[in-house]
Amino acid sequence: MEPPGPQAPTATGPASPILLPTATPTPLPTDTPTPTPTPYVVVESGLVNLRSGPGPEYPLVAQLGPGIPVAIVGQNPEGTWYQICCVNGESVWVAENHVRVVNDTRQVALVLADPPPTATPTPTATDTPTITPTPTATPYPFAVAEGPLFFPSNNPWLTIWVKVFVPNPGGDIPLPGYHLDVKFRNRDFNSSFESRPNTKGEEPSFDHFEYSVPPGTASGNRVPFNYKYEFKPPDPRSLDPTSTDSPLKLIDGYWQIYLTDGAGNQLSAPIEFNTLLGNPNLEVYVAWARIR
């Protein structure tokens, strides 16, 4: 019996492909953007001019007082003026070096303002006479709300209590950063007013009210204030050992006072009074209210 010969290979179909799972990409976490705080300006003290464009050559449209935040909405390419909104419903411009800026301004949009208005040429004068109108004085931003009130005192010096505030139905709001300009002239008819510094040391008005005397039945004339002025004249004997005059002799005359900002700009009409010898009223009280 013959051994079996080699067997022919059995035909098979093509091999089935092996399916591999497809990797699904995992999404990366997205950072939630942090909102950028809105930048704004605040006036520290006094009044700051607001103009229709970024420069002193643009018309003055308003003034901004202290403690009022106003949002920054634009800036000039140099970064020296900010466009703020809104004042009386309009966008206006303020100089960067006149205000305190709060929050980052790097994302503030650049604004290219229109050129300032061109001055109208002055017509050539003719022989026809013209009447020049009398200029109208700009009203002061502060007006007397109470006073001057005068109180007798046994002290041989002058004391002035001042209240600087914004009227408010819920309670008057004290205004910080203001000063008193005080001038004096003696009773001589030919004398002129000269400055008299605060001998207690000059400090601006503060942001809260205090009272001139403690409460109580014996408190006397008790008034709220946030600025105090004193003028203590020197003892005449320190100037002349043979003198028999009292310190009151050196304030025998007339006074003039008015409110100013930190730059010395006059903000109220002047008030005058006297401390002539024999006048016992050496304490004065004035309350000035911000009216514009």
The domain tally of the chain equals 2
| Residue 68 confidence (pLDDT) | 85
Residue whose pair of structure tokens reads 């303020």 in the numeric block: 94
Measured distance CA(268)–CA(258) in Å, rounded:
6
Is residue 158 within 8 Å of residue 275, measured between CB atoms? yes
Is there a single domain that holds both residue 168 and residue 48?
no
Backbone angles phi, psi at 80, to 5 degrees: -100, -10
Question: Residue 77 is part of a domain; what is its CATH number?
Answer: 2.30.30.40
Q: Which tokens go with 178? A: 């203001």
Task: Say yes or no: 170 and 249 in one domain.
Answer: yes
Choose one of 102, 123, 156: the last residue of a domain: 102
Q: Give average pLDDT by consecutive 10-residue segment, the chain, 292 residues.
A: 56 56 62 75 86 92 84 93 84 92 92 82 62 70 93 92 94 95 89 92 95 73 94 84 85 95 94 93 95 86
CA distances to 68, 115, 179, 186 from 119, in Å: 33, 12, 37, 48
How many Å apart are CA 137 and CA 266, to the nearest integer? 13
CB 158 within 8 A of CB 165: no
**Whether 153 and 284 share a structural domain:** yes
- Domain-located, residue 129: no
For residues 67 and 169, state if they share a domain: no
State residue 125's pLDDT score.
59
* Amino acid 221: pLDDT: 80
Looking at the structure, do residues 147 and 271 belong to the same domain, yes or no?
Answer: yes
Q: Among 51, 75, 102, which residue terminates a domain?
A: 102
Asked whether residue 181 is domain-assigned, the answer is yes
Q: What's 240's domain CATH number?
A: 2.60.40
Q: Give the model's pLDDT for residue 237.
A: 80
DSSP 199: T
Which domain covers residue 76, as residue numbers? 40-102
Q: Which of 246, 172, 170 is nearest to 207 (CA)?
A: 172
Give the helix ranges, DSSP H, for the chain.
236-239
Please tell me whether residues 47 and 177 are part of one structural domain.
no
Residue 63 lies in a domain: yes
Please tell me the predicted confidence (pLDDT) of residue 65: 82
Residues 147, 230: one domain? yes
The whole-number pLDDT of residue 13 equals 53
Residues 190 and 284 in one domain: yes
What is the model's pLDDT at position 11? 52
pLDDT at residue 36, as a whole number: 75
- Is 16 inside a domain boundary? no
Cα–chain center distance at 135: 28
Whether residue 165 sits in one domain with residue 69: no
